[in-house]
Structure 1
Amino acid sequence: MPEKMDAVFLWVDSADPAWRAKKVQYLPAKARESSTSDIRYRDYGTLKYAFRSLEKFAPWLNQIFLITDQQVPEWLNTANSKIKIIDHSEIIDQKYLPVFNSSVIEMNIDKIPGLAEHFIYFNDDMILNRPLSPEDFFKDGQPCDDRIYKPIVPFEDFDHILINNGILLNRYLDGRWPLSKKGIFSPKYGSTLFRNLLVLPYLKKSGVPGYVEPHGPLSLKKSSFALAKKIWPEEIAENNTHRFREYNDVTIWLVRHLQLERGEFHPRDAKFNRFLRLNQTEEIKKTLEGQRNGAICINDKAVDDYDACARKVDEYLEKKFPEKSNFEK
């Protein structure tokens, strides 16, 4: 187990009038709705429960870093020494600020002052679901993850970014797949292992077609960011100029993919993370009541009946985590 293991969260209060005014001020003249919509930024109260889940199920975490843009959740106990608020200006060069693109913020989290080499990256809608140990995230000094491939089937604007990551990774591999065979055929993947068997001929002949993305807490190393920025310096530097999401963004998943392809990870149960939409209320309820999944991501993208679904999910989360954490006032 690493001596220290930190947690990193991104959070924004999109209801803040000052933040909203700033966003409007910097909107591009021909902004794409998919990259600037308020839906992408809204806060529906999950961060408080995410913090409760950390205290209840992962009390061994060292430090919790919350990255914000001159904002602090009104309920947060900032006097708690385990919490550190990190402003965008501490990790992103002033010439790129303000920034409203999570892809840019994510690719700079390795610059957090005092961040441990081994850390877990969360979105504010990712919640731990049962008691966990450090070995659920890092084992023998390596991130726990699943290396499961799948073709990218594009349906939405975001899929451009997955393809961007894939282009950079395959240029790096340059026909050398696999650099490492670690975890390609791990029995921990269960039936999802068949995905790898199906795409194996393509992997050997043409390269990596894409991955099953966990949509859950990511185990990452600072040194992996340093290596990524050494391999792709121009592309990652260019990424910093994207104030809002753009078609040629690269994301933190590129760092994850680099760890997988270099064999710098430890295979983990493919069902450790569960991804559900906010309107899948019954599935969310069952998942929170069960112990099968180590973490759940409750995503609210393009959900009808948002208010009603958010109220239901808040009810389920309050039942799961009824007690205030020490991170709250």
Structure 2
Amino acid sequence: MSTTHPNWIHLPDTEAFPSYEKYTALVDQAYGLPDLVYIPLEEAVKDDVLHGWEAEWLVNVTYDAQRWGLFREPRIDFVYTWVNGSEKAFQDTKHPYELNSTLNDKEGAWISSHGENRYRDWDELKYSVRSVEKYAPFKNKIQVLVNSLGTAEANATKQVPTWLSGSAGNAFEVLAQEEYFEPDKKGCLATFNSISIENQLHNTNSRVDRLFALSDDMLLGRPHAASDLYSPLFGPLVAFKTNAYNTLHKPNEADAKRFGEKPWLIYTSWLLNRRFGARKRKGQAHFGHSLSRRITREAMQSFPGPELLSACSRFRGDFGFQLYTWFATFHYTIERHREALLWSYLIHRSDPDQDGYLSWDERQQVVKDLEEGLQNGSKSSFRARNFYHYSDILEDAGLEPPKVNLDILWTSMDGPAMIKDADCFAFDVNECLAPGFSAEDSYSHRDTPAFSTAAMLDRVARQQPECGDCLVKILLHKVAKGFGPLLPNANAQPKAYQTVLKALMRYQYVISEPDGLFVMVTDAEQVETTLIKRLVTKKKKVGQLCLNDDVSSTDDSDVLALQSTMKALFEGLLPDASQFEAKEEIG
């Protein structure tokens, strides 16, 4: 391959391969956009629809199946990022962009070392699709996100799995980047960076909102229910590692050079801290991710500059840092649920005259609410623990209970996740809400700026998040179940009440400990002894399996041995072809 910069980058653009001028213009635009914006709750939920049962559910954690009927099982899309880096057409397409990258060096070291294993194909996608067809009967359709192949000098073609049947139909879609990237970001194409692709995958077209995002190295290992991923009563299941991030200062060059996903976690932590307040936030588990297209879109739009720059990151490290979709979306969802409760209580319920300030009488009511909650705070079993009853509640509503992810750690119906370990016995309204909050004197007039509901909301939601955590936790302890103590008055404040109901339903979530096995694959012997022996010979079952390519050997015999062993593993686990495989491939 040539080591000189390609001339075609400066030729007239096509949809799959836009001109370099468009690309640089978007990069310049990204640096001019704000890092973050606040999307009002009213704006976020304006198109959401309530069906009538949500009020009773959110107030009392009760679903009346006789009145509202049994739920139908939700349908969920399975969306893959996939590339066959071994294909010469892909290498030829990628190489000019590598040459033009700021990461390229005169010696060509970056090009030769930046990730053969990141693009190598072991045919994992074929077997992962088999696992979905076998173990996920609630599947709506499968979408595979691929690169276009070619250059601006030729018509682009999609990279398509060789085993795929030509009659797969609408249930299996292969989508090139230009088919789902947002119109105002298509000038960033082409990209060879899975993080950039993940920033845009929520734009894939579907009749359903819910999707389960996977890499091609992830497989389902045994039968799943939809509720292993999502339910309409509790929302999506999310899972986290033990490592947490709390970036208080702008990340630097040393942070950008950290191993693996740490640069994106550190950077996205910094963005989340500025938006929602500083706190430790755990990194997401390395398995498939249950997402809402509309909430992921909202989360990405909340960070306009980073989102656009991330979309234009053709290779990992182009601009040092990127907005990390999973980490951002999961924690955005969790924080917005908490923010909705604080907004509901301070902006609406506590300010019945809606003048934007808390008068002495209104402040007294807040103190009374807190005193009632504190009386029950020492009773560890006072609040019902809905996470213990997740399966039973779903069954009563006509939904199949989970089969794989049985270890439920928390649900948003138990309150914001942050309140679980919050120590609130020293909570002080004068420190957390406003100076002089509990005093009536000549210096504490109701229109004092400190008593502005907006000022107090920003204080507890963002400036002192531990105060917001405790405010919610104490107020929830007024009742054994539900969010009643924080909701607007349904009769006196009907519009706000509806907005809050929509927000609490929109930002629901469940935190679970997934039944999964993550393996960094290094060689054939490892696969034989730790995977084939366990999963095929001894028939041990695991809910989800992720086989990450960590092969360092470049010896052809080592790679071929591993390829053969991987096929033996896959065939041992999933020998039956899916409906999407070509007949000659099956034969």
TM range (shorter): 0.7 to 0.9
Instruction: Pick which of 285-294 and 227-236 moved more.
Output: 285-294
From 191, 198, 206, the equivalent of 1:114 is 206
Q: Pairwise mapping of residues 1-329 of structure 1 onto structure 2 (< 5 A)?
A: 3-27=74-98, 28=101, 30-31=103-104, 32=110, 36-69=114-147, 70-81=158-169, 82-92=171-181, 93-114=185-206, 116-139=208-231, 140=233, 142-147=235-240, 149-151=242-244, 156-175=259-278, 207-211=279-283, 213-246=284-317, 247-253=320-326, 254-261=328-335, 262=337, 263=412, 264-268=508-512, 270-279=513-522, 280-281=526-527, 282-285=529-532, 286-287=534-535, 290=539, 292-304=541-553, 305-329=558-582
Identity of aligned residues (%): 25
Structure 1 distance, partners of 2:240, 2:215, is 21
CA RMSD of aligned residues (A): 2.4
Relative contact order, higher structure (CA 8 A, sep 6+): 1
* Number of matched pairs: 296
Structure 1 distance, partners of 2:168, 2:219, is 20
Label 1:302 to 1:172 Cα distance change in 2 as closer, same or farther (>3 A). Answer: farther
Describe the superposition over 1:269-327 as per-residue Cα deviations: whole angstroms up to 9, x where unpaired.
Answer: x2422210123423323246555531100011244444333322220110111111111
Contact 1:78 1:84 (C-alpha < 8 Å) held by counterparts: no
Q: Which runs of 5+ in 2 are unaligned?
A: 1-71, 105-109, 148-157, 246-254, 338-411, 413-507, 583-587
Q: Which has the larger radius of gyration?
A: 2
Contact 2:180 2:201 (C-alpha < 8 Å) held by counterparts: yes
Structure 2 distance, partners of 1:234, 1:35, is 30
1:185 corresponds in structure 2 to none
Contact 1:214 1:273 (C-alpha < 8 Å) held by counterparts: no
1:183 corresponds in structure 2 to none
Describe the superposition over 1:175-195 as per-residue Cα deviations: whole angstroms up to 9, x where unpaired.
Answer: 4xxxxxxxxxxxxxxxxxxxx
**1:16 Cα shift?**
2.1
Contact 1:277 1:303 (C-alpha < 8 Å) held by counterparts: no
Moved over 6 A (4+): none
Instruction: Pick which of 76-85 and 42-51 moved more.
Output: 76-85
Describe the superposition over 1:159-205 as per-residue Cα deviations: whole angstroms up to 9, x where unpaired.
Answer: 21121121112222214xxxxxxxxxxxxxxxxxxxxxxxxxxxxxx
Label 1:147 to 1:100 Cα distance change in 2 as closer, same or farther (>3 A). Answer: closer
Q: Match of 1:3, SS?
A: coil
Structure 1 distance, partners of 2:207, 2:120, is 27
**1:217 Cα shift?**
1.0
AA at the equivalent of 1:220: L
Structure 1 distance, partners of 2:244, 2:177, is 34
AA at the equivalent of 1:50: S
Q: Match of 1:256, SS?
A: helix
AA at the equivalent of 1:311: S
Label 1:283 to 1:46 Cα distance change in 2 as closer, same or farther (>3 A). Answer: same
**1:252 Cα shift?**
1.9
Contact 1:2 1:138 (C-alpha < 8 Å) held by counterparts: no
Structure 1 distance, partners of 2:227, 2:301, is 29
Q: Which runs of 5+ in 1 are unaligned?
A: 176-206
Structure 1 distance, partners of 2:90, 2:116, is 12
Structure 1 distance, partners of 2:546, 2:118, is 15
Label 1:71 to 1:98 Cα distance change in 2 as closer, same or farther (>3 A). Answer: same
Structure 2 distance, partners of 1:157, 1:325, is 34
Q: Match of 1:116, SS?
A: coil
2:384 corresponds in structure 1 to none
Which structure dedicates a bigger proportion of its chain to helix?
A: 2
**1:35 Cα shift?**
8.2
**1:115 Cα shift?**
5.6
Structure 2 distance, partners of 1:108, 1:284, is 33
Label 1:134 to 1:157 Cα distance change in 2 as closer, same or farther (>3 A). Answer: closer
Structure 1 distance, partners of 2:140, 2:541, is 25
Describe the superposition over 1:83-126 as per-residue Cα deviations: whole angstroms up to 9, x where unpaired.
Answer: 01111111224311111111111110111122621110010000
Describe the superposition over 1:46-70 as per-residue Cα deviations: whole angstroms up to 9, x where unpaired.
Answer: 1110011011111220111011111
